[in-house]
Chain A
């Protein structure tokens, strides 16, 4: 066996200075990776050399030591995971599983763009019984929310556009608040946007759509939510030659639709193009209980806005509260 260490314990004299700090980086990583994250982070104040050592961690393990303090052993109800540099998503599954056993109510997942494979959310996410708000800024393959009974608010930002949007909408049932951003793939569903979403079981009273670059997309979606109470649309990059959109936006095409619950609309305009104007007119015509419409200028010039507002005020007697911002 080992020679006894001369009866001297941890005396400075027996140690050449700082053997630990002088280990090769990969050996140090091996040590830090075996510590809970909190412990690894705490090494940053050992000395200057240690300040960023933990940042190299090739693997991160999160466990309850991260948020549990002796006084508070309650369940985690809100959790935000924001990862932008990892290529894959190691251990995210385990983490979600861990949170799903707990009473997670509010989950924010901001995951890096996948290189090849889309991240497949673990099934444990889809059975979080207490989950009320889900924010997902990530390109995922599949989202099925029908087994999350309390889910009321969902934000989805998927600029890779690879989530199966039809299935996603089909799985919404109790949702009250829907926020979609950068959902490019909505374009694919232009004319034939599936109104499978039978309206009756979806009652989102707040509905955000951001950065849809086709008014038409916005429209197809809105059609699917006749119980809408609050609507916000932000439009960028509108195609002026969008003739099909123009036709589609004619009021006659909406003889079967009335937004009987829509009380407030906030529009952040793109270029003030015709399709956008049509959309405003349509909303005004089809929303009998509308009390407020807030129009914010996006990219177009002041004169255009004023012109536009004049036009509206003459076409409809509805109470239009408008405002522009620069």
Chain B
């Protein structure tokens, strides 16, 4: 594996420290952390203590949990990872959106895929009313304006049964 090449040379696993915006420090193996593109670039620039000013401890803990699990990924534990992912996106909205922002900032592509897909699934085929309610989006269109926007892309809003449930 590519990630083991540096450690096999030294015989020691290279460690990195991540520091959350709350000041908490987490020591991790480099091979785990390089899933995150932002950190990978910093490591390449020679950093070993990485301050993450946009990520609080709670979110960073979750992200580390994700990265550790995904660093274990092999051909044989696909099912396990799948179940892990399923559980991972079950958090509250607050947590999920924190995670999206952090994953976006840190450029963890796999996590970004997972979270965005989960949010997209909650929007897909839902009625506009349901989406507004689920995500607490307040409608600031006047009825006339809304009608006008609807008319702009009539084809998209017509001809289908949309799901009114708030799941």
> Which A residues fall within an 8 A CB radius of B?
1-2, 5, 10, 12, 14-21, 23-24, 26-27, 30-36, 38-39, 41-51, 69-70
Residues of A close to B160: CB separation below 8 A: 69-70
The one of B94, B116, B138 that contacts A14, using a Cβ cutoff of 8 Å: B94
**Is B28 on the interface with A (CB-CB < 8 A)?**
no
**Whole-angstrom distance from the CB of B80 to the nearest CB of chain A?**
14
Q: Which of B62, B119, B141 contacts A45 (CB 8 A)?
A: B141
- B78 at the binding interface (Cβ < 8 Å): no
Give Cα A10 to B146, complex, Å: 25
A22 to chain B minimum Cβ distance, whole angstroms, is: 8
Separation of A16 and B101 alpha carbons in the complex (Å): 15
Q: What string of 1s and 0s marks CB contacts (under 8 Å) between B12-33 and chain A? A: 0000000000000000000000
20 contacts across the A-B interface (CB closer than 8 A): A2-B87, A2-B90, A2-B92, A14-B93, A15-B94, A16-B94, A17-B138, A18-B137, A19-B93, A20-B137, A21-B135, A23-B104, A30-B104, A30-B112, A30-B116, A39-B124, A46-B137, A47-B140, A69-B159, A70-B159
Kindly report which residue of chain A lies nearest to residue B97, judged by CB atoms.
A19
B residues touching A (Cβ–Cβ < 8 Å)?
A: 62, 87, 90-95, 97, 100-101, 104, 112-113, 116-117, 119-120, 123-125, 128, 131-141, 145-146, 149-150, 152-153, 155-157, 159-161, 166
A10-B166, A15-B93, A31-B119 known; A46-B128 Cβ under 8 A: yes
In the complex, are the beta carbons of B97 and A20 less than 8 A apart? yes
Flag if A46 contacts B132 (CB, 8 Å): yes
Q: In the complex, what distance in Å separates the CA atom of A20 from the CA atom of B135? A: 6
* B94–chain A nearest beta-carbon distance, Å: 7
Return the chain B residue nearest A21 by Cβ. Answer: B137
B92 touches A14 (CB 8 A): yes
Task: Say how far A176's CB is from chain B's closest CB, in angstroms.
Answer: 32
| Complex partner residue of B91 from A5, A32, A34, CB under 8 angstroms | A5
| Tally of contacts, chain A with chain B, CB under 8 A | 112
Closest Cβ–Cβ distance, residue A292 to chain B (whole Å): 41
CA distance A38 to B158 in the complex (A): 10
CA of A34 to CA of B125, assembled, Å: 13
Complex Cα gap A16–B135 (Å): 10
**A10 contacts B133, C-beta separation under 8 Å:** yes
Residues of A within 8 A of B156 (CB): 38, 41-42
Residues of A close to B146: CB separation below 8 A: 45
Contact call B138/A15, Cβ cutoff below 8 A: no
How close is A42's CB to chain B, nearest CB, in angstroms? 5
Q: Known pairs A2-B91, A19-B93, A46-B137; list 20 more (Cβ under 8 Å).
A: A2-B92, A10-B133, A12-B136, A18-B137, A19-B94, A20-B97, A23-B97, A24-B101, A24-B104, A30-B112, A34-B116, A35-B123, A38-B155, A38-B156, A42-B153, A46-B131, A47-B140, A47-B141, A70-B160, A70-B161
Nearest-Cβ distance from residue A141 to partner chain B, whole angstroms: 33
Q: Which of B112, B119, B139, B157 has the most CB of A within 10 A?
A: B119
B87 in complex: contacting residue of A1, A14, A23, A38, CB < 8 Å: A1
With A1-B87, A19-B136, A45-B149: A31-B92 Cβ-Cβ less than 8 Å = no
B65 nearest CB neighbor, chain A only: A1
Contact between B128 and A45, CB atoms less than 8 A apart: yes
Give the nearest-CB partner of A24 in chain B.
Answer: B104
Please, how many angstroms separate the alpha-carbon atoms of A241 and B149 in the complex? 56
Measured CB to CB, the nearest residue on chain B to A9 is B166
B134 to chain A, nearest CB (A): 6
Return the chain B residue nearest A67 by Cβ: B155
Q: Are A35 and B100 in contact (CB under 8 A)?
A: no
Contact indicator A44/B149 (Cβ below 8 Å): yes
* B90–A42 CB distance below 8 A: no
Greatest chain A CB density within 10 A among B91, B140, B145, B149 is at B149
Q: Chain B residues near A24 (CB, 8 Å)?
A: 101, 104
Contact of B116 (CB < 8 Å), options: A19, A21, A31, A39: A31
A48, B116: Cβ atoms under 8 Å?
A: no
Within the complex, the shortest CB–CB distance from A213 to chain B, in Å, comes to 40
Determine the chain A residues whose CB is within 8 A of the CB of B159 once the complex forms.
Answer: 69-70
Closest to B166 in A: A10
Residue from B101, B136, B161 in contact with A18 in the complex, judged by beta carbons closer than 8 Å: B136
* Chain B hits for A32, CB < 8 A: 120
In angstroms, Cα B94 to Cα A38, docked, is 27
- Give chain B nearest CB distance to A28 CB in angstroms: 9
